[in-house]
């Protein structure tokens, strides 16, 4: 079995989707073994506790800078014997110390179709505000490997979602979560845990 560590900062609906998928036997050879939060009041921690999953709080403000926080995170993940690290609404920047310790073993869900509306400053509702300001008719979600480049790692899965007239950032966020994120994130975890993702020439190739 592969140990899955999930990094969270907020409500944790993507974590919940992973927990529910595991209960249905849909995470393949993977098991969520710990949830690490950058915030002590993240509701995601309650979701983990309600399901008997170990929780760890690593508060960003307890560390002087990104480097010392990243070092602590890398050490924690190693101590937890993580085989896969999933960023599920994790809103804190980590540096190369973590990527180097877990090369192509960390995946992130982003609420847009990368390379649109991604990179520094594009997180949470800001992503949907930008999509609506541009007037795109399709947005969606992307699951990708985490590398040093923010939102720039190899893309594993994407799913498009319609933007509707009258959408607000909140209604678009909800539709993208329901129709895309909560589906492709657990599926990408299953693919990883069943060794169905390969890196070839810097791109992720999925064999289903």
In which element (H, E) is residue 184 found?
helix 182-193
Tokens of 174: 């909800």
Q: Kindly tell me which residue out of 2, 5, 6, 14 binds ligand GAR, with binding defined by CB under 6 A.
A: 14
Task: Give the torsion sign (CA, 181, 89, 106, 78).
Answer: negative
Cis peptide before 115 (omega within 30 of 0): yes
Between 64 and 141, CB nearer to ligand GAR? 141
Compute how many other C-beta atoms are within 10 angstroms of the C-beta atom of residue 160: 14
Q: Does residue 110 interact with ligand GAR by CB under 6 A?
A: yes
Q: Evaluate whether 124 touches 154 at the Cβ level (below 8 Å).
A: no
Q: Contact letters (x/-) for ligand GAR, 142-181, by CB under 6 A?
A: -----------------------------------x---x
Quote the longest CA-to-CA distance of the chain: 48
Minimum distance between the CB of residue 93 and ligand GAR, rounded to whole angstroms? 10
Minimum distance between the CB of residue 8 and ligand GAR, rounded to whole angstroms? 6
Task: Give the torsion sign (CA, 27, 70, 121, 59).
Answer: positive
Cross-strand bridge partners of residue 46: none
Instruction: Give the relative orientation of helices 43-50 and 13-23 as an angle to the nearest 10 degrees.
Output: 20
Q: Contact letters (x/-) for ligand GAR, 15-44, by CB under 6 A?
A: -----------------------------x
Q: Kindly tell me which residue out of 6, 32, 36, 88 binds ligand GAR, with binding defined by CB under 6 A.
A: 88
Q: Does residue 77 interact with ligand GAR by CB under 6 A?
A: no
110 is catalytic: yes
Q: Does residue 92 interact with ligand GAR by CB under 6 A?
A: no
Minimum distance between the CB of residue 108 and ligand GAR, rounded to whole angstroms? 7
Between 178 and 195, CB nearer to ligand GAR? 178
Task: Give the torsion sign (CA, 98, 105, 14, 113).
Answer: positive
Binding region for ligand GAR (CB under 6 A) out of 9-17, 57-65, 96-104, 186-194: 9-17
Cross-strand bridge partners of residue 107: 86, 145
Kindly list the catalytic residues: 110
By the criterion CB under 6 A, which residues form the site for ligand GAR?
Answer: 10-14, 44, 88-89, 109-111, 123-124, 127, 177, 181
């Amino acid at each position: 079995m592969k140990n899955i560590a999930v990094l969270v900062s907020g409500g944790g609906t993507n974590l919940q989707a992973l927990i529910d998928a595991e209960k249905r036997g849909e995470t393949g050879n993977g098991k969520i073994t710990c949830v690490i939060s950058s915030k002590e009041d993240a509701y995601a921690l309650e979701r983990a506790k309600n399901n008997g999953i170990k929780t760890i709080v690593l508060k960003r403000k307890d560390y002087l800078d990104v480097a010392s926080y990243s070092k602590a995170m890398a050490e924690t993940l190693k101590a937890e014997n993580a085989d896969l690290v999933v960023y599920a609404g994790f809103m804190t920047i980590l540096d190369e110390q973590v990527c180097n310790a877990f090369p192509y073993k960390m995946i992130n869900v982003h609420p847009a179709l990368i390379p649109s509306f991604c990179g520094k400053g594009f997180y949470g509702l800001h992503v949907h505000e930008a999509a609506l300001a541009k007037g795109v008719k399709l947005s969606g979600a992307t699951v990708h490997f985490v590398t040093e480049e923010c939102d720039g790692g190899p893309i594993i899965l994407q799913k498009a979602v319609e933007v509707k007239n009258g959408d607000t950032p909140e209604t678009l966020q909800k539709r993208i979560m329901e129709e895309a994120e909560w589906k492709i994130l657990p599926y990408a975890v299953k693919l990883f845990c069943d060794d169905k993702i390969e890196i070839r020439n810097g791109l992720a190739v999925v064999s289903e």
